[in-house]
Structure 1
Amino acid sequence: MKLKVVLIAALVLFSLFVIAGIASLDWQKKEIEIGFHSDVAKDNFTMAKRLLKANGIDWHKNKRLAEQAQSDELNVDPQSILILDEAVLADSYLLDVQLADWVAEGGRLIYVLNRQRDELAIDSTVFFSQLSINVESQEDVFEYDFAMLKEGHKNSTLSIDENTQLDLELSRAFFIENCPGVNTNNDNGDTLMCDFAFGQGRVIVMPSLLPFTNYRLRHLDHGSLLLWLSKGAKKVTYVPYLTYPNWFAKLWHWSWQCVVTLLLLIVLAVWHISSRIGRSYAPDFDVKTSFNQHIRAVANFYSEHGHEAVLFTALEKDFYAKVESRVPNFKMLSAEKQAQIIANLTHFEKQQVAELLASKLPESKEQRTEYIKRFKQLRNAL
């Protein structure tokens, strides 16, 4: 009883300490951002659009610029700055040719490098060959990070003027060589962005648009970079690349050796299974052998090795057991009476029954077999 009281008191005391500790905490209500609203998540550049709109600049996505290039002259608003994914040039020769004329006449172009430039042979396009730059691809770079609150890591600095510098995190997927204008380098001196004149126009070569996506626009000075690139324009026209290779093509480009090895392993696995299982045939024998077959096998073994006497003794014992079950005290009767009773119970004649009961097991193998066969027939006839 005392132990129970002590335990209850200790529990109450512990509860008081816990309640007092919780009450003494300084509780604060915090709002944590865990994701974008649905209307923002629909477009990766929603926040960029809102930033530009707040500064009097419209963002427009043009998916049909290549189709519009069918005319003699590229129809782009002269007050617009054009953001173009270079992969679009691989789908339209006319756009490839007319783009150079549009920029040379005073157009402003943000030229975005594409990770598929090697597969699409972008280096052979008319426009890129006129830029007089070289692009070195870095295959081992993976930059897609969807952590919303993760602060970017500065890897380059752009000096706008003597008093303004922008801290940026630009893609490391490409290095630009032979930049004829203002280059933006990383800490190792590799050029990540190139800004130069092209005729009367201007071209800015960027490794990707990742700094302007919803996830990265808020970090570092990416928003200021977008406004600086759009300065003096009333509209931003973005031309995306809408054709992407399937997963098999990407895997083949990444490592064709792995694809070939995987296919060979699949073929070997199919061969291994098929060679072991093979075609389905009905078995030639029953899976389970009946008990009677086992008895016959034992009988054949005894017969082949000269032990018919053992078989006959078992047969004779079984015979008299059956007769005793029908005629009690059968063995107490005379031989003639026994033969008469068995003849009445079976289709055998009395004389045949008397001979079978009175005879002994013959010495000859053929005679023994015939005698046991006749005795067995007599047993079965009961």
Structure 2
Amino acid sequence: MSRRLTLLLASLVVLIGLLLAYLASKATPYEEVVEHGPAPEVAADPYLAARQFLIAQGRQVARTSGLERQPERRPSSQVLLMLGDRSEMTPTQTERLLDWVAEGGHLVFVAEQIWDETTERSGDLLLDALQLQQHETAADSTARDTATEQRDPQPRLTRLYLENEDAPAFLAFDTGFHLYDAGHRAHAWANSDDATHMLQLRHGQGLVTALTDAWIWQNAQIGQYDHAWLLWYLTQDRDVQLAYDTEQDSLPRLVMRHFPEALAALLIMVLLGAWHVGQRHGPLIETNDRSRRRLQEHLRASADFLYRRAGPNHLLETLQADVHRRIRSRHPGFDQLPLDQQYQRLAALCQLPTQYIEQALSRPAKALGAAEFTRQVTYLQRIRNSL
């Protein structure tokens, strides 16, 4: 038995070895690249590549996330790139910034608002102060685009021409917007076929560069065309301060993204807790059914009400009147008898002393107590029952 088991196990091992050898001969090695997307720091900072590029060029780069930090002094050696939202910028901040430019600073900013012909202003404090206007360009027709593309292989790119340069720099600005120099102060500009996307003008001792958009310097676009070169050109020989906001996910959104199972479990616990607190504990209290009350209960309730409201003397007088009515109806001529004979006759009928009869039928001179009232009622009931 042991020998057969040994042979069976050996055969099984041989078969498994042959199967593995066959699979190994058919297997083909290959390489697969799994794309995990940008690193978290790249996704959180759209201008990270631009910052690293400037640092590689030997620039001193500082970054701020808002308008609370204005450029430091030494304006002639600094350039400020305002690439973020400026909707909260105040007139005082605008004036202080332009004063800094007038002392020799270089300001590069993105136009944010469209010129309003009705109010003759855009609401963008920097644009209005510098007499610059941003307009939306009209949509080109298909036929016009086709003809332009046949004439120029890159019709929608913006061209920047420099002195002593034969070829222009190509930039992929958004052609849906156009900058207009209403004050005629610009000395340099960059145009596409239908619009101007960069204007540069003097302001005091400094320089202002206005752009229709700054997406050309974001991580995915800075390596295209001459975008990196333009950033180098505008910041050359100066320290750079970048001002822009990075959109950060709120805590609830981060929790929903990374811990959905925990949130679902918490929601279920809250629902179960609310159900447990809201459920009934113990039997319901039965309500009294008014239709089951007897006549005796109603009479007793009425008597209690009269006792509290009218007093015991009123109830006693009512009972005495009822006794007198019964005497007159059942014993005619009883009222014609003297009081002494009346009391004696009633005492004989109900087997009570005469003084009890007189006390029960006489009107009380003062308010009776509970014990006296009960005794008087007992005597009267006994008299009435004996008639």
TM-score, normalization: structure 2?
0.45
The structure with the larger Rg is: 2
